[in-house]
Amino acid sequence: MIKERQIIYKKELATNIYEMLIEAPKVARAAHAGQFVLIMVDEKGERVPMTLVDWNPEVGWIKIVYQEVGTSTIKLSMKKVGDEIYYIAGPLGHPSRVSKFGNVLMVGGGVGIPALYPIARELKRLGNRVITVIGAKTSNALIYEKEMSEVSDEVYITTDDGSKGIKGFTVDAVKLLLNNGEKFDAVWAVGPALMMKAVAEVTNGKIPVSYSSLNSIMVCGVGMCGACRVTVGNKTLLTCVDGPEFDSYQVNWKELTIRLQAYKKEEMISLEMLKGAGKV
Amino acid sequence: MSKIGHRLEPKTRPPEIRKKDFEEVELTISPEEAIKEASRDIKFCAAPCSFRGCPVNVNIPGFLKKVSEGDFKEAYKILIQNTPVPSITGRVCQQEIQCEGQCVLRRVGEPIAIGAVERFVGDWALENNIEIPVTSEKKHKKVAVVGSGPSGIVAAADLARMGYDVTMYEAFHIPGGVLAYGIPEFRLPKRILRKEFERLQNLGVNIELGVVVGTTYTIPELLKDYNAVFLGVGAGRPIFLNVPGENLAGIYTANEFLTRVNLMKAYMFPEYDTPIHVGKKVAVIGAGNTAMDAARSALRLGADVYVIYRRGRNEVSARAVEFKHAEEEGVKFIFWAAPVEFESNDGINVSSIKLMKMKPGEPDRSGRPRPVPTGETFNFDTDMVITAIGFYPNPLIPQMTPDLKVDDHGRVVVDIEGRTSIPRVYAGGDIVTGESTVIEAMGWGRRVARTIDKDLQKI
């Protein structure tokens, strides 16, 4: 008998990048593309947002993909199949505003690619022509190529070192597509803030509809703390209850980048403590 | 005066010691002190404390009489007919403007320390494991209570005692709403909150954590499983100042700061994983209860703390005792000043606030002088800011429930008995009134529980 919040599957997709299936029937039955969950690994843990990559309402599992970057994700990786996660709440945030646009460009970087996957799948299901650009530092770090291929009409790959596909960033491939005269009705970008910002800059004025899924630091996830606030079109909005997807052309990217750095020092202290405890 | 004696002032831990930890500031009075204070009750008073003073109409003369006789168990039984959580209400109610504000002894001397005696009885009952007896037969009808804060606690306790099957849904990992994330440990210890929730569970209330009603379950979904739904989701959304630079790093809303410190135990970082960036010199904007809680928490984290308020000392809206405790502990106050801009030296972290000097103007609707800008500004250097200027109702459920009628301020519209625009859906507390107090919200929980009972009798 599988218990709620139990890990039922775990796989290392690339160095330090993991895919995990967790029993969460209440979340799975209500989930939509673009939404996320908040996870606390244990009772001393942080509340960490994780985008829903996939879910099965009948069987009751959810899938997340994450990269080990700090204390919370390292602690999550230390959990084994069969272990329980202390807390999962969701689905949270607004679903992606998907519809039949026509030609849609999907741009994903790093662990943003799996987060992009359910949105692309939904857009494909709705009859859009889905053109996908995915990128990673190097070919070994590239994940979800197969999954994205299954839901895309064309897939372009970029690597920073040129070990696979086009040498460069995802935005370089986007520029190439636009320069070749490709026309798109909508674009979704999910990845590091700098990537989403760069994509917004080159598509602005060329693609009418543009969404980015923001990765703001969150605490509550339900709209009461304001930690994840972001300026969109000169209004202060909350990523958790007003997003997580916003019009890329309206987001104040500079401010988002500033706020993402707020805890750099504390993140190091926490990591040192975890290492000092001999757990890693 | 000699006949009624002096009011008991509960002992507090010395400011220079308590400001260094998160242990409780005010101490529970002794049984002897409780008996003595309750004996100051006079025989023939019309109990305005209960009827005008208390939003949940606690039978104050009744419980004080039992305390004066040393019968704490009976006193507890009388208390919980109206407040299921006297250990909490005794600690956080604004007694000086409620029960104690109405006390007839105030006219001839000093009011009875009703809050301190109430708290004593509550704590005594918790220590002695006195259980609340369930009086009604099972009604075999189900009610969902959404939110585990003050209004939800009272609604759930009342409905459970009436014989309903109650399930309480809470989004966080710990129940209590604002009592868990907002009110600090030094004012309401979490062990008290935990015990009161154990008590609710003993009453048969089923508590489900990590459920976000609106998305995990929608209201129409809940209505399929429950005969009635009570929404007590509070006024959670922080109000922003909307001045330039407000989103710099190092500027927190009070809710974020307090949630990190209280709920996530950031004061124990890095033992707990959630960090808090503690400044050396902290500015708290606003002077309500939340501002005092934030200021005193920041002080305990080692900061030099300044409360900046756009009005004067006489207009401070926090409970008098919290203001007093804050000053005793060394929180400094800057009155008649309001932020107009936040500035940063490094382009990332806040480093100073440009403040507008204010002056008192014509009285506003609250009767207090309206703060008027003088045109003169000055700079205040700081490395951390906490804004505590109020809250809007939590938008999550209204956003996800188009049929639920809300007003221009996002408050759920209800009739006088708490019925919303959706049949079988009720609401109470801050989601209905906007920002208010713990006990006002509890009053709503009580009122709406009666409405639900009345309506469900008919079906």
Which ipTM value was assigned to this complex? 0.91
Residue of B nearest to A241 (CA): B396
Quote the mean pLDDT of chain B: 91
Cβ atoms within 10 Å, residue A134: 29
pLDDT at A279 over 60: no
CB contact under 8 A, B272 and A44: yes
Question: Which residues does residue B228 pair with via DSSP β-bridges, in sequence order?
Answer: B143
Using CA atoms, how far residue B224 sits from B220, B228, B312, in Å, is: 7, 10, 52
Q: What percent of chain B has pLDDT over 90?
A: 69
Name which of B212, B269, B342, B385 to mutate to probe chain A: the one with the most chain A Cβ atoms within 10 A of its Cβ.
Answer: B212
Would you call B394 and A224 a contact, using CB atoms and an 8 Å cutoff?
yes
Whether a cis peptide bond, with omega within 30° of 0, leads into A244 is: yes
**What is the per-residue pLDDT for B3?**
57
CB pair distance less than 8 Å for A263 and B347: no
Q: Per residue in B425-444, pLDDT tens?
A: 999 999 999 888 888 899 99
Binding-face residues of B in 98-137 toward A, CB within 8 A = none
The answer, for B190 touching chain A at a CB cutoff of 8 Å, is: no
Domain with CATH 1.10.1060.10 in chain B: 15-127
pLDDT at A278: 56
pLDDT for residue B347: 87
Class of B15-127 in CATH: mainly alpha
CB B116 within 8 A of CB B29: yes
Q: Cβ of A263 and B275 within 8 Å? A: yes
**Dihedral sign, Cα of residue B171, residue A20, residue A263, residue B186:** positive
B109: closest CA of chain A, how far (Å): 43
Residue A63 near residue A54, CB atoms below 8 Å: yes
Q: Is A280's pLDDT higher than 60? A: no
Judged by CB atoms closer than 8 Å, whether chains meet at A267 and B275 is answered as yes
Q: Which of residues 386-445 of B touch A (CB under 8 A)?
A: 391, 394-396, 399
Contact A222 B396 (CB under 8 A): yes
CA A66 to each of CA A27, A35, A112, A143, B424: distance values in angstroms, whole numbers, following the listed order: 18, 15, 9, 11, 42
Taking contacts as CB-CB distances below 8 angstroms, the residues of chain A near B271 are: 44, 273
* Chain A nearest CA to B396, separation (Å): 7
Range B142-236+392-457 has CATH code 3.50.50.60: yes
Q: What residues of chain B lie within 8 A of the CB of A92, using their CB?
A: 212, 215
* CATH 3.50.50.60-classified regions of chain B: 142-236+392-457, 240-389
Share of chain B above pLDDT 70, in %: 98
Residues of A whose CB is below 8 A from B252 = 226-227
**C-alpha dist (Å) from residue B11 to A95, B26, B455:** 53, 6, 46
CB atoms within 10 A of CB A150: 13
Residue B2 is predicted with a pLDDT of 42
pLDDT at A179 over 60: yes
Partner-chain contact B216 A224, CB within 8 Å: no
Q: Which residue of B has its CA nearest to A44?
A: B272
Q: Does B304 touch chain A (CB under 8 A)?
A: no
Q: Do B270 and A227 touch (CB under 8 A)?
A: no
> Which residues on chain A are in Cβ contact (under 8 Å) with B269?
266, 269-270
Lowest mean pLDDT among A65-74, B158-167, B279-288, B370-379: A65-74
Stated pTM of the model: 0.92
Of A27, A223, A267, the CB nearest to B236: A223
**CA distance, residue B184 to nearest chain A CA (Å):** 15
> Is 50 exceeded by the pLDDT of residue A123?
yes
CB–CB of B253 and A226 under 8 A?
yes
At A279, phi and psi to the nearest 5?
-85, -20
Determine the CATH number of domain B240-389. 3.50.50.60
Q: What is the pLDDT of residues B49-73, one digit of tens each?
A: 777 788 888 889 889 989 999 999 9
pLDDT in tens, B291-342: 999 999 999 999 999 999 999 999 998 988 899 999 999 999 999 999 999 9
Report phi then psi at B130, rounded to 5. -75, 125
The confidence score (pLDDT) of residue B1 equals 38
pLDDT at B30: 92
Of the two residues A152 and B203, the one the predictor is more confident about is A152
Task: Please compute the mean of the pLDDT values over residues A14-30 and round it to a whole number.
Answer: 96
Q: Which two tokens stand for residue B180?
A: 């868990």
B348·A261 Cβ contact <8 A: yes
Pairwise CB contact (< 8 Å): A236 & B215: no
Provide φ and ψ at B340, rounded to 5°. -115, -20
Q: What is the mean pLDDT of residues A192-196?
A: 94
Domain architecture of chain A: domains with CATH: 7-92 (2.40.30.10), 96-213 (3.40.50.80), 215-280 (no CATH)
Q: Which residue in the set A26, A45, A262 is minimally distant from B277, CB to CB?
A: A262
Cα gap B194→B247, rounded to integer Å: 35
Q: Which of B171, B240, B275 sits opposite A270 (nearest CB)?
A: B275
Q: Chain A contacts of B276, Cβ < 8 Å?
A: 266
Give the confidence band of A234 by pLDDT, cuts at 50, 70, 90. Answer: confident
The shortest CB-CB distance from A258 to any of B211, B249, B276 is to B249
Task: Provide the 3-class DSSP secondary structure of residue A96.
Answer: coil
Residue of B nearest to A35 (CA): B215
Instruction: Pull the structure tokens for residue B71.
Output: 């019968």
Interface subset of B 330-369, CB within 8 angstroms of A: 347-348
Residues of B in contact with A44 (CB under 8 A): 265, 271-273
Name the nearest CA neighbour of B243 among B434, B387, B410: B387
| Span A85-119, pLDDT tens digits | 999 999 999 999 999 999 999 999 999 999 999 99
Cβ-Cβ contacts under 8 Å, B394 against chain A = 222-224
